[in-house]
A and B are shown apart, each in its own frame.
Chain A
Amino acid sequence: MPKLKVDGVIVDAPEGSMVSAAVSLAGKQSFRRSVTGEPRSPLCGMGICFECRVTIDGRPHMRSCQVPCRPGMEVRTDG
């Protein structure tokens, strides 16, 4: 099981899961904030809606539902 960090919280993600699952497992309800500060979280789960974006290893605006979990990843939400 890949072990990764979400906002500093260590998560054991199931093998083959996406970063979006790890963020949920970390207990985050809001993945990011809209321009006006509203909470946002995954809607489509297939890379279309862009609502699930997080920062992964320093790269902002990564679609968490499209990136498989890898050991040692540092994930940051703006939620």
Chain B
Amino acid sequence: MGKPYDVAIAGGGIVGAACADECAAAGLSVAVVEPGPMGGGATAAGMGHLVVMDDSPAQIALTNYSRTLWMNLASALPPDVEYVAAGTVWVAADDEEMSEVHRKRALYESIGVRAEVLDARQLAEAEPHLRPGLAGALLVPDDAVIYPPCGARFLLERAQAHGATLLRVAAKELRGEGIKLSDGSFLSAGITINATGAWARDLTPGIEVRKRKGHLVITDRYPGWVRHQLVELGYLKSAHSISTDSVAFNVQPRKTGQLLIGSSRQYGADHSSIDTHMIHRMLARAREYLPGLADLSAVRCWTGFRAATPDKLPLIGPSPHDARLYLATGHEGLGITTSLATGKLVADQILYRPSAIPVEPYLPGRKQEDAHA
């Protein structure tokens, strides 16, 4: 047993890496415990869409803050992180969804997020492969796209440059005073952080984090075929209810010219193998918006598990049962976007620094209301 670290983090995904980056930059001694590839868990299940989402005031605050952090970081990111400010186009299928476009634009404007309404003609010009007859869209030009595993690796390397240590072992037990490792040793720490994504409950039983399975498909290279991240406007409200299996139209242009096609969400699916009926539903939904997808060639599909909470907000901060055990998990489909803010909020609390946004909505001890009860 060596000298205790100030902070020991279980999980080398993008959230653990962001926590390590912030803590190490603040001068704390940091160890990260990750047996697998960097960002190989929930991080690899993410599309890498950096997006402001408005499902709740706390979600807006966290995504907007974190997207600003990404925008500020963009020029420092290496090329393989593939940051592209592609912008999001929230597609409205009919007049009812178009009224939602106007509501969303007004809300975004009130918090300083640039957003522009596209009518049907402007949408067709912006994205010629969308089917005719759509009502319009909201363009959010500063939303962006990254390749998440390389984002995680970049943050971790920056932490290591500030002295952080990476341990290629698994965490077997997590307590406030340290982490019991798979090699039998005990890693002592002043603070421990559970950043193991969808697997967080294995180390911290009882927390309200569930595995939610998602499928992704990636095509061959068709540069310029889609120009923005295209998402159906009903994405959260109608398409992704909290309780049932669901799919939604969500297509992203990669820097390579490939198209990344999502999205699906399933509870209770513990196996990582492909569920062909979910892939079929997901692609059928995507073809309703982009009929020409049927003629493109897909090269790979895969699944992953995201960490879902009942109120759709992450758990960020000390456990109510152990002030030295921090949680940084439960980010579900927004973990890539909100990773940087999570790192800030964790370091702020450890160091008693003021935070840029209120931390209370994300504290693990909060009373969670089911967002769709």
Chain B minimum-CB-distance residue to A32: B221
Q: Report the interface size for chain B: residues with CB under 8 A from the other chain.
A: 8
Distance in angstroms from A46 CB to nearest chain B CB is: 17
Cβ 8 A contact of B256, one of A35, A50, A53: A35
Contact B256 A61 (CB under 8 A): no
Known: A35-B221, A35-B256, A60-B222. 10 other contacts (CB 8 A): A50-B299, A53-B220, A59-B295, A60-B220, A60-B221, A61-B220, A61-B221, A61-B222, A61-B296, A61-B297
Contact with A along B296-320 (1 / 0, CB 8 A): 1101000000000000000000000
Interface of A is mostly: strand
* Chain A residues proximal to chain B, CB less than 8 Å: 35, 50, 53, 59-61
Chain A minimum-CB-distance residue to B219: A61
Contact with A along B201-228 (1 / 0, CB 8 A): 0000000000000000000111000000
A-side contacts of B297, CB under 8 Å: 61
A-side contacts of B295, CB under 8 Å: 59
Distance in angstroms from A71 CB to nearest chain B CB is: 23
Distance in angstroms from B323 CB to nearest chain A CB is: 49
B-side contacts of A60, CB under 8 Å: 220-222
Chain A minimum-CB-distance residue to B299: A50
A-side contacts of B221, CB under 8 Å: 35, 60-61
A-side contacts of B299, CB under 8 Å: 50
- Complex Cα distance, B225 from A45, in Å, reads 29
10 shortest A-B CB distances, which residue pairs? A61-B220, A61-B297, A35-B256, A60-B222, A59-B295, A60-B220, A61-B221, A35-B221, A61-B222, A53-B220
